[in-house]
Amino acid sequence: MFDSVYGPWTLFSDLGMIFGLLLVGKLIRVKIKFIQQLFIPPSLIAGFLGLALGPNGFGLLPFSDQLGTYAGVLIALVFASLPLSSPKFTFKEVSGRVGPIWAYAQLGMLLQWAIMGLFGLFVLKLVWPQLNSAFGIMLPTGFYGGHGTAAAIGDAFNSLGWDEAKSLGMTTATAGVVVAIILGLIMVKRAAIKGDTSFIKDFSELPDELRTGLTPPEKREDAGMSTTSSISIDTLAFHLAFVFLVAFIGYMLSQGVKFYYPKLEIPVFSAAFIVGLVFKKIFDATKVSDYICPRQTSRLSSTFTDLLVACGVASIKLSVVVKYAVPLIVLLLVGIFVAWVITFYLGKRLCKTFWFERSIFAWGWWTGTMAMGIALLRIVDPKLESKAMDDYALAYLPIAPVEILIITFVPVLFVNGMGVWLLLGLLVFAAFVLLLAKKMGWWIAPVRKK
């Protein structure tokens, strides 16, 4: 019934099964109270179902052997969408309005990568010498980076000779989503009892639409603005064209660099992001930006992310997880503790207002995904009065290039034995950000009890 040779209809079949599993995942989220209480996204449920029923599980769903490669394509589309949906900003605005949040988010990223990478190099590898030197960075790859970064770094390592990296990254990313929401909910309940929350006093105040994921008619919002007339080109096709064009040029740029400089590997998603920034700059200087709806491109990015999570989790090789089960468990436990300390220690000292709301958003983001951060924030701040999302969105703009550079060069440097220097460099950068925060008056010294 299914062709043994990969072709267009094979792609169609893979997508048909993945979209079917997404709908089943959504139905499970709507109907099963336990799943609602854990806020597990349908994309993750679809991934679990695909893993259990696909070739890596019981073999009931005939996914092709290319299922794992889709994540690499989808992450390129996600990163191509990001610049097109970003607002105009100046570094002066970032410094004046959200300097403390920038320092908080930048430190959270740098410290997670540096500490866990060094833990893998100097602790895990001492106990299990057979581990790859980059084993430790699989934690921030999945936790801070999420499934998208796991796909990107996994593809890069695969091309450099370590084909287990993607499965390990997808595993830590999947564990991170579960950890983000379960421990996040526990911390929210505890904070509400202690009075650390500013907008809710009782966890039961949470509206039903956040649990089920179904928005009632009176609370529905527009998915985006139609900037073109459908008599010429549908607005969704118009926005898709920009995203795919940016990603395609990024792919061609990546392949061109690889052809002329074989030793220099630029991931497609990095190239797509760079191309997107160039396009964004050109569009802002002309009138093109007036016809690109940020909400439309943001929705497209979210769609590609849902597909990426489902495909990525479904393509995990369970044999790899079993092979590294013990060091992987140790890595996850230490990673959870490190992420918790970084998130809430720094949150109390760099978030001048609504420290818990901003910290719980960071917890969801830095262990799971941006969506998990938003879900936790909506629980403690249903009307988004803390402006945490607005400030984070603005602060992340200067952080994004740093993250792209890390993701781009981590595989190359580790393969060439220079990973430790990269990790030490990140620690030095973190120390610089910390000193800057204190010099700028962003650091809040704890009040000592008499």
CA–CA dist 274, 50 (Å, integer): 33
Identify whether 383 is part of a domain.
yes
- pLDDT recorded at residue 260: 81
CA–CA dist 262, 173 (Å, integer): 30
Identify whether 260 is part of a domain.
yes
Identify whether 220 is part of a domain.
no
Q: In terms of pLDDT, which residue wins out, 414 or 89? A: 414
Q: What is the mean pLDDT of residues 162-190?
A: 86
Give the tens place of pLDDT for each residue, 114-161: 999 999 999 999 999 999 999 999 999 989 887 778 888 888 888 888
Which of 173-182, 201-210, 392-401 comes out lowest in average pLDDT?
201-210
The residue assigned the tokens 């996914």 is 63
Q: What is the mean pLDDT of residues 172-199?
A: 83
The 3-state secondary structure of 83-127 reads: HHHCCCCCHHHHHHHHHHHHHHHHHHHHHHHHHHHHHHHHHHHHH
Q: Is the pLDDT of residue 402 over 70?
A: yes
Q: What is the mean pLDDT of residues 350-379?
A: 81
Give the tens place of pLDDT for each residue, 9-42: 888 999 999 999 999 999 998 888 878 777 777 8
Look up residue 275 and give its two tokens.
Answer: 């191309």
CA distances from 56 to 16, 35, 62, 113, 209 (A): 18, 24, 10, 30, 34
Identify whether 227 is part of a domain.
no
- pLDDT recorded at residue 200: 66
- pLDDT recorded at residue 383: 66
The pLDDT-based confidence of 289 (bands split at 50, 70, 90) is confident
Q: What is the mean pLDDT of residues 162-171?
A: 88
- pLDDT recorded at residue 449: 44
Give the tens place of pLDDT for each residue, 57-84: 888 888 888 887 787 788 788 878 878 8
* Number of separate domains in the chain: 1
Give the tens place of pLDDT for each residue, 96-108: 557 888 899 899 9
284 burial type by CB count under 10 A (0-12 exposed, 13-18 middle, 19+ buried): middle
- pLDDT recorded at residue 290: 78
CA distances from 241 to 43, 88, 234, 328, 338 (A): 25, 22, 11, 41, 42
Q: What is the mean pLDDT of residues 271-280?
A: 84
Confidence (pTM): 0.72
Q: In terms of pLDDT, which residue wins out, 307 or 206? A: 307
The pLDDT-based confidence of 327 (bands split at 50, 70, 90) is very high
CA distances from 176 to 46, 117, 120, 339, 370 (A): 16, 17, 18, 10, 12
Identify whether 392 is part of a domain.
yes
- pLDDT recorded at residue 338: 95
User: What does the mean pLDDT of the chain come to?
Assistant: 82
- pLDDT recorded at residue 213: 63
- Domain of 327 in residue numbering reads as 8-212+233-439
Q: Which helix (H) or strand (E) holds 57?
A: none
- pLDDT recorded at residue 47: 86
Give the tens place of pLDDT for each residue, 421-430: 999 999 999 9
Percentage of the chain lying above the pLDDT 90 cut: 24
Distance of CA 317 to the CA centre of its chain: 21
Q: Which helix (H) or strand (E) holds 47?
A: helix 42-53
Q: In terms of pLDDT, which residue wins out, 182 or 122? A: 122
- pLDDT recorded at residue 132: 92
The answer to whether 375 touches 216, Cβ cutoff 8 Å, is no
Q: Is the pLDDT of residue 212 over 70?
A: no
Identify whether 446 is part of a domain.
no
- pLDDT recorded at residue 219: 67
The residue assigned the tokens 């595989």 is 411
Q: In terms of pLDDT, which residue wins out, 261 or 175? A: 175
Q: In terms of pLDDT, which residue wins out, 7 or 328? A: 328
Identify whether 268 is part of a domain.
yes
Q: What is the mean pLDDT of residues 334-349?
A: 94
Identify whether 368 is part of a domain.
yes
CA distances from 31 to 36, 203, 212, 248 (A): 8, 21, 8, 40
The answer to whether 29 touches 36, Cβ cutoff 8 Å, is yes
